[in-house]
Amino acid sequence: MGTKFEMMSKQETKEIRSFIKSWWFWFFALLIITAIIGFGLNSIGLISKTVVERKVFENSYQYSEARKTAIATYEAQLAEIERKLSNKSLDETTRSNLEASAAGIRIQLTTERSKQ
């Protein structure tokens, strides 16, 4: 007499293995789907307090001062570039590079001002 598993037919063994494989597959699929849904809900702030924390941070003194400092820095950079552009003896390549830099800084300045 053998053990219970030795007495089973090959077909029964295949069915049991198939059931186990499918059970694990569905378990892991459910686990992954749950994780994705949880991450998504957390990202948009429905599960945690992410949105509230962000608003509090944006209204904090440090955030406001950082925005003011960034604006002052961009304004100073823009003034320096404009001073360099007023030089009549600049070659075209340097002038073009300075104008491109000024355009980029103006965009950053506009963005920072809109955050205030």
Q: Residue 17 is part of which domain span?
A: 10-43
**Rounded mean pLDDT, 64-79:** 93
Q: Residue 1: inside a domain, yes or no?
A: no
Tell me 44's DSSP state.
T
Q: Which residue has the higher pLDDT, 46 or 35?
A: 35
Q: Residue 86: inside a domain, yes or no?
A: yes
What was the pLDDT predicted at 12? 78
Q: Residue 2: inside a domain, yes or no?
A: no
What was the pLDDT predicted at 94? 93
Tell me if 79 sits within 8 A of 102, measured CB to CB: no
Q: Residue 82: inside a domain, yes or no?
A: yes
For residue 73, pLDDT over 80 is answered with: yes
For residue 3, pLDDT over 60 is answered with: no
Which whole-number Å values give the CA distances from 59 to 4, 51, 52, 68, 113, in the listed order?
69, 13, 11, 13, 15
What was the pLDDT predicted at 54? 74
Domain count for the chain: 2
The torsion angles phi and psi of 47, rounded to 5 degrees, stand at: -95, -50
For residue 82, pLDDT over 80 is answered with: yes
What was the pLDDT predicted at 6? 58
Name the average pLDDT for the chain.
Answer: 84
Q: Residue 52: inside a domain, yes or no?
A: no
**Rounded mean pLDDT, 64-90:** 92
Q: Residue 55: inside a domain, yes or no?
A: no
